[in-house]
Structure 1
Amino acid sequence: MTKSRTHEKPRILCLHGFRTSAKILETQIHKWPDSILEKLDLVYLDAPYPSMGQSSVEGIFDPPYFEWFQANQDFTEYENFEECITFIEDFMVKNGPFDGLLGFSQGATLAAALPGMQAEGLVLTKVPKIKFLILTSGAKFGGSKFGAPPLAANAFSCPVKCPSLHVIGENDFLKPESIALLDSFVDPNVIHHPNGHTIPSLDDQNLEIVNNFIEKIRNLAAT
């Protein structure tokens, strides 16, 4: 019997950055205040592949480190991309249902493409429709920096309609990609922060933006 989810928190699958881990992302997200975190049911998943090279967080966070998929130096060819999507879907089937996705860096780039691929009927066919996205330091497959894996070739052929919150750092090396990604979404919500490639603390203005977004997704999660 399906129970009502009217009073439940939005359940969110969280995808970490390149060569980091679920535990590291959880630590980063806890820069956000309890007043935000207590409204969300956050589930953190380690990527399926052990790090195949040096991690940028070595000496800051302890290993192990993982990656979602691999690419060549100019991001025109990808390996293990389809296998990665299957891995995520299997986890969602066994541990869901999930209302939305949260991603950082490689995890955000992956999450950003999933609603479009799901709408095409190519991926996530065994789980409910993704209702919203929270993306920090994201980028676009098929944009100026990253080519698109074949499975994601048309992920942004139509504007992505699900509500989205985009967190963009002024000194992030992915800032141009994160800004370009906004054009693929209908009415995106945006937070700007002064830092680099990281999940930032939230000042009062950004806290208000996040709280307003959470109210929106709480209503969606109840449907």
Structure 2
Amino acid sequence: GAQNPDGDDSKSWWFSDINPDYFSSSQESNTCKGFDETLSLIRHTFETQGPFDGILGFSQGSALVALLCCLKTLNEFNYNLKFVVIIAGFKSLSTKHLELFDRLNGQLIDIPSLHIIGETDQIIDKTRSEQLSQHFVNPFIIYHSGGHLVPSHSSNRQKFHQFFDQFI
């Protein structure tokens, strides 16, 4: 992903603003600085270290996974994906990214998807995660009572197994 030029270790898959470089999931923007480099890195990783059965993304990473799914549906990301896991997901509000969803022309993404949504997420409102899941055919949705996190309660793990058992 893109690295903050201020020299700190913060990283982002892309930045929604370039002065200074930062990302906000709620910012509508014409900027997605670093996104093309991120796609190049992911393609390189798939080519040199793949194949991979699936991709997991959390928060901004989940928005990236959704964009990869759009590209796959548009035949612009030609790697096999058996599934995706989207945790605290949302649609990026970058104009360039919204155009990818628009190019689907209402076509749903036909990649098995697990969407994990926190009922009390203060960073990514659950309605944004729910809206993203509606772009997928038969999204498998798990709600948890927590916030912006990966749930680890045993009841959630049973649901994880339910989703992943179909790929074994």
Q: Deviations over 1:142-175 (max 9, x none)?
A: xxxx234257344653101111111100111311
Aligned to 1:170: 119
Measured on the aligned residues, the alpha-carbon RMSD in Å equals 2.1
Superposed counterparts of 1:207-222, under 5 Å: 207-218=157-168
- Map residues 135-154 of structure 1 onto 2, 5 A cutoff: 135-141=86-92, 146-149=93-96, 152-154=100-102
Compute the displacement of 1:119 (Å): 2.5
Aligned to 1:190, what secondary structure does the other structure show?
A: strand
Partner of 2:147: 196
Among 62, 68, 72, the alignment partner of 1:108 is 62
CA contact (8 A) 1:171 1:195 kept: yes
CA distance in 2, matches of 1:200, 1:209: 11
Determine the C-alpha separation between the residues in 1 that align with 2:14 and 2:36. Answer: 9
Q: Please, what TM-score do these two structures have when normalized by structure 2?
A: 0.81
User: What does residue 69 of structure 1 align with?
Assistant: 14
Structure 1: state its 5+ residue gaps: 1-47, 54-62, 219-223
Greater relative CO (CA pairs within 8 A, separation 6+): 1
User: Residue type matched to 1:166 in 2?
Assistant: H
What letter corresponds to residue 88 of structure 1 in structure 2? Answer: I
What is the TM-score of this pair, normalised by structure 1? 0.62
State the identity as a percent.
29
Q: Matches of 2:70 and 2:5 in 1, distance apart?
A: 29
Query: In the alignment, is the contact (CA less than 8 A) between 2:114 and 2:142 conserved in 1?
Result: yes
Change (3 A) 1:183 1:160: same
Cα distance, 1:137 vs structure 2:
0.3
* Larger helix percent: 2
Counterpart secondary structure, 1:70: coil
Q: Check whether the contact 2:119–2:143 (CA below 8 A) recurs between aligned residues.
A: yes
Instruction: Check the 8 A contact 2:116/2:142 in 1, yes or no.
Output: yes
Q: After the TM superposition, which parts of structure 1 deviate over 6 Å for at least 4 consecutive aligned residues?
A: none
2-structure distance, mates of 1:76, 1:164: 27
* Corresponding residue for residue 33 of structure 1: none
The aligned length equals 154
Q: What amino acid is aligned across from residue 96 of structure 2 in structure 1?
A: P
Question: Which residue of 1 is the match for residue 35 of structure 2?
Answer: 81
